[in-house]
A and B are shown apart, each in its own frame.
Chain A
Amino acid sequence: MTKKIKSITNPKLKLEILTPSEVKQIHDATLWIIEKVGVRFPSEKALKIWLASGAEIDWDRKVVRAKGELIEKALKTCPPGYTLSARDPQQDLPLDGNHVFVGTDGCGVEVLDIETGVRRVSRLSDVRDVARIADATEEVGFHWVPVSAQDKPPETRGLHEIKTIWENSTKHVQTESIYNEREARAAIEMAALIVGGKDKLRERPVLSLMQCSAPPLGHDGGSLDAALLAAEHGIPTGFMTMAANLTTGPATLAGNLAVGNAEVIAATALLQLAHPGAPVFYAAAQTASDPRNGSYTGGGPEDFLYGAAGNALSDFYNIPLSMGSFATGAKQPNWQAGLENSLSTFMASIVMSDMMLGVGFLHGSRIWSFAEMMMDCEIFSIIHKTMQGIVVNEETLALVTIAAVGPGGNFLSQKHTRAHMRDLFLPQFMDRRPYNEWEAKKDDAPDWALAKARKILAEHQPDPLDEKISLEMGKIIASLE
Chain B
Amino acid sequence: MSKEDLFKKMAQSIVDGDAEVAEALAKEAIDAGIDPLEAISNGYVVGVNQVGDSFSCGMAFLPELVMAGEAMKLAVAALEPEMQKRGSERKMLGKVVIATVEGDIHEIGKSLVATMLGASGFQIYDLGVDVPADKIIGKALEVNADIICMSALLTTTMVRQKEVIEELDKEGLHGRIKVMVGGAPITKDWVNSINADGYSEDAIGAVNVAKKVMGI
Pairwise interchain contact A291-B204, C-beta atoms closer than 8 A: no
Task: Determine the distance from Cα of A148 to Cα of B55 in the docked complex, in whole angstroms.
Answer: 36
Q: Do A214 and B105 have beta carbons less than 8 Å apart? A: yes
Residue pair A120, B189 in contact (C-beta under 8 Å): yes
Known: A214-B105, A220-B105. A294 touches B112 (CB 8 A): yes
A246: chain B residues at CB < 8 Å are 62-63
CA distance A218 to B105 in the complex (A): 10
B contact residues around A295 at 8 Å (CB): 201-202
For chain A, residues 85 to 141, give those with C-beta under 8 angstroms from any C-beta of chain B: 107, 109-110, 120-121
Is B41 in the interface zone, CB < 8 Å from A?
no
B125 proximal to A (CB < 8 A): no
Which residues from chain A contact B156 at a C-beta distance below 8 Å? Answer: 154-155, 157
Contact check, B184 vs A148: say whether CB atoms are below 8 A apart: no
Q: Which residue of B lies closest to A364 (CB)?
A: B184
**Total interface residues in chain A, CB < 8 Å:** 28
Instruction: Tell me whether chain B's interface is mostly helix, strand or loop, or mixed.
Output: loop
Contacts of A155 in B (CB 8 A): 156
Give the number of residues in B that approach A within 8 Å (Cβ atoms): 22
Tell me whether B138 is interfacial, beta carbon within 8 Å.
no
Q: List residues 18-76 of chain B with CB under 8 A from any CB of chain A.
A: 55, 58, 61-63
Interface string of B172-216 (1 = CB under 8 A from A): 000000000000110101100000000001111000000000000
Say yes or no: A366-B63 contact (C-beta < 8 A), given A294-B202, A294-B203.
Answer: no
Tally A-B pairs: CB < 8 A.
Answer: 52
Q: Would you list which residues of chain B between 127 and 182 have a CB under 8 Å from chain A?
A: 155-157, 159
Q: Is B106 an interface residue (CB 8 A)?
A: yes
Q: Is the CB of B105 within 8 A of A148?
A: no
How far apart are the CA atoms of A109 and B58 in the complex, in Å?
A: 30
Asked if residues B108 and A292 are in contact (CB atoms below 8 Å), the reply is no
List of A residues within 8 angstroms of B184 by Cβ? 296, 366
Q: B202, A109: Cβ atoms under 8 Å?
A: no
Residues of A close to B63: CB separation below 8 A:
246, 251, 291
Contact of A386 with B by CB under 8 A: no
Report the Cα distance A122→B187, complex, angstroms: 12
Contacts of A292 in B (CB 8 A): 55, 58, 61-62
A299: interface (CB < 8 Å): no
B189: which A residues are within 8 A, CB to CB? 120-121
Complex Cα gap A247–B110 (Å) = 12
